[in-house]
Amino acid sequence: MAKGTRKPKLAVWKFTSCDGCQLTLLDLEEHLLAIADRVDIAYFLEASRATVRGPYDISLVEGSISTPHEEELIRKVRKQSRFLVAIGACATAGGIQALRNFAHVRDFIQLVYAHPEYIRTLAQVRPIADVVPVDFELRGCPISREQLLELLSAYLHGRRPRIPRHSVCMECKRRGTVCIMVARGVPCLGPVTQAGCNALCPSYARGCFGCFGPMDSANPLSLGRRLEDLGLSREDIVRVYRTFNAYASAFREGSETYEQVRGHTRH
């Protein structure tokens, strides 16, 4: 919490990621002046080369930990940060790059790089909380503007952020979106996915892709059976659970179970 008259210092850090989540901060357009008024944006390379040294009151950390160098760096960031928030699917679940956790990274390196010997990378991509203690997480690929604003407002006023851990279905029902899985047979990950997008895809009659990762008591196997009824193959189900949040535990359980079952039926 901010003390006295000094403005809290905010830093934004990037690890293995696409920058989309930190751009959400710039995307807060109409609120940016109010934020800059109350927060000292001390380190944010995406926005300015001018940086202020730590320690920082609040650090927003984007990206996953994929290299030994990043592992060192995140420890330094942790030491310099009072309140550390992991933002986005990469930082909270490993992101799309964590797909390599399901295979051998050596195989990819051989395939992709002309000189594999130059590549220094970790065998497993890890979310931030696997490496250092994290004070709060904002989910999403990318994170939601509203949730980021809520996090900053809550921080400034010393209250708990209102970030629900329940299903996307809750958002469909509150906004009056008719369930597309029930009314149209469209496969949807909403019943296992954490809210945060205000049920964006279902409101355009598209099934939820699971951008915000597993909700707090996700049941991926029961939903998997329903997806099979709707015509998805076991391979399809492995794939729907293996996107931006593939390595988050409930989605991992879903895809690994379906992969094993697939293996069994083939042999």
Partner 1 sequence: MPSSTANPKASPPQIIIKKTTLDDLIQALQREGYQVIGPVLEQEAIVYRPVTQLKDLALGWIDVQEAGSYRLERDEAQRFFAFTVGPQSWKAYLFPPREEIWKARRENGRILMEEPETPPRLAFLGVRACELAAIHVQDRIFLQGPYVQPRYARRREAVFIIAVQCTRAGNTCFCVSMGTGPHVREGYDLALTELEDTFLVHIGSEKGAALMAEIPHREATQEEVAEATRRVDAAAASMGRTMDTTELPELMRQSLESPHWEEVGKRCLACANCTLVCPTCFCFTLEDVTDLTGQEAVRVRLWDSCFNQEFTYTAGRPIRVSIASRYRQWLTHKLGWWVEQFGVLGCVGCGRCITWCPVGIDLTAEVQTLRHMYGRASSPATVSR
Residue closer to ligand SF4 (CB basis): 59 or 243: 243
CA angle at 255 for the pair 253 and 257, rounded to the nearest 5°? 65
Q: Give the tokens for residue 190.
A: 């909403």
If one asks whether residue 168 binds ligand SF4 (CB under 6 A), the answer comes out as yes
**Smaller CB separation from ligand SF4, 134 or 248:** 248
Strand pairing class (136-138; 56-62): unpaired
Please identify, among the stretches 52-60, 82-90, 151-159, 165-173, the one whose residues bind ligand SF4 according to the rule CB under 6 A: 165-173
Closest Cα partner for 20 from 30, 12, 11, 31? Answer: 12
* 205 Rama class: left (phi>0) / alpha (psi -120 to 50) / beta: left
Q: Which does 208 bind (CB under 5 to 8 A by kind): partner 1, ligand SF4, none?
A: ligand SF4
Determine phi and psi for 113, rounding to 5 degrees: -105, 140
Piece of 55-63, 146-154, 166-174, 254-262 that binds ligand SF4 (CB under 6 A): 166-174
181 interacts with ligand SF4 by CB under 6 A:
yes
State the DSSP string of 80-122: HEEEEEEEHHHHHH--GGGGGGGS-HHHHHHHH-S-GGG----
Query: Strand runs (DSSP E) across the chain, as ranges?
Result: 9-14, 40-43, 56-62, 81-87, 136-138
Residue with smaller CB distance to partner 1, 121 or 177: 177
Binding mask 183-222 for ligand SF4 (x = CB under 6 A): -----x-xx-------x--x-----x--------------
Which partner from the list partner 1, ligand SF4, none does 199 bind, CB cut-off 5 to 8 Å by kind? ligand SF4
* 84 contact choice in ligand SF4, partner 1, none (CB below 5 to 8 Å, kind-dependent): none
Residues that bind ligand SF4 (CB under 6 A): 168-169, 172, 179-181, 188, 190-191, 199, 202, 208
